[in-house]
Structure 1
Amino acid sequence: MTVNLGKGQKVDLGKPGGGTLEVVRMGLGWQAAPRKGFLAKLMAREIDLDASAVLFAGRKPVDVVYFQHLNSSDGSVRHSGDNLTGGAGQGADDESITVHLGKVPAQVDQIVFTVNSFTGQTFQDVENAFCRLVDESTGQELARYTLTGGGRHTAQIMAKMTRAGSGWQMTAIGAPTNGRTFQDLIPDIEQHL
């Protein structure tokens, strides 16, 4: 059963009936919003949203996974590759980041997931955008956060996973910000640690 998260909501990442998750996938999907008017349709560009995962030890970023660095240094976090156009929207993931929870180094206590518009369009140009967390062993969607509200921002800090005892917890953040790459977002990410 999927939990639809609102900003600030948390969900524990344990398996229903007990046990811990081993591998989770954070999926991102989006579509370009339809343009109105003849000239707007002619001038429309594809929208390249990029998913990133920044790994933190305390408040210090220690690794990142994104379209130009597809695997964390230790191999515990993996990016599916760059999707330059989107299109899945409500359906499948356009980009995804897989996390092998048991392999994440002990010093990493938070993983923050972001999305940014590499091509610079704002979220007014995007529709049906979402991030979701899936139990990779069963394919079951555990949580979904809909990136709503459009807005004149070019990025969002979507969610974070935090170590909680021997397991993990996911928190929906949904904070709008601006930047074309994850590096641009680091100062804003630090406010949510």
Structure 2
Amino acid sequence: MEYEKVRPAALISVVALGFAAQRITQTVLDGFYARSGYPVPYYVGQLSFSAGKLSGWYAEMRRHGTLGVYWQTQFVDFAFIAATMLFFTALLVAVARAFPAGSRGRRIGRRMVWFGVAAPLFDVLENLFSFVMLPDPAAISPTVALLYSTAAALKFACFVVVYLWTAGGLSTAGIQWIRNRRAGRSSAAAAAAGTA
């Protein structure tokens, strides 16, 4: 794979850049959510699986004159999505690279990189369903609401996988590195004793 050729220093720089971009866009996005007056935490709304609840929340924003801000929030979310894709992809590549070349951990790590792409794509899909619902908040289709929340659930599931694998993968790679280093020292010591 091409990422195998990326120098570690460059990869770490991309991870840091992606993290900074994600934090900045998250802060901006949170500000838009707050100004929109969305009645419940965003994850509650996204995981409601209920056309009736979504209609009620959208109607409340319309009554307060902030539904337009919520529209803007959906567009701002695309900046967060792009930053998340950069951060997650670079992070998961770095985790894969933490394992020795040709190892089982490296092979698993390569496959896990796809979760870094899937999470943002499900977020895009979720936004697209919100664009279907927002023009007429009083007549949200239960099917669209179900698809909207399903996309959100899959997005959050991918986020969890990314974070769990990052923690578990780096820990495992670190333990393997320590063991290999100790084994190397033991072999060197044995070889030195044999030639003494």
Return the TM-score normalized by structure 2.
0.28
**Which has the higher relative contact order, 1 or 2, with Cα contacts under 8 A spaced 6 or more apart?**
1
TM-score (norm 1): 0.29
Structure with higher Rg: it is 2
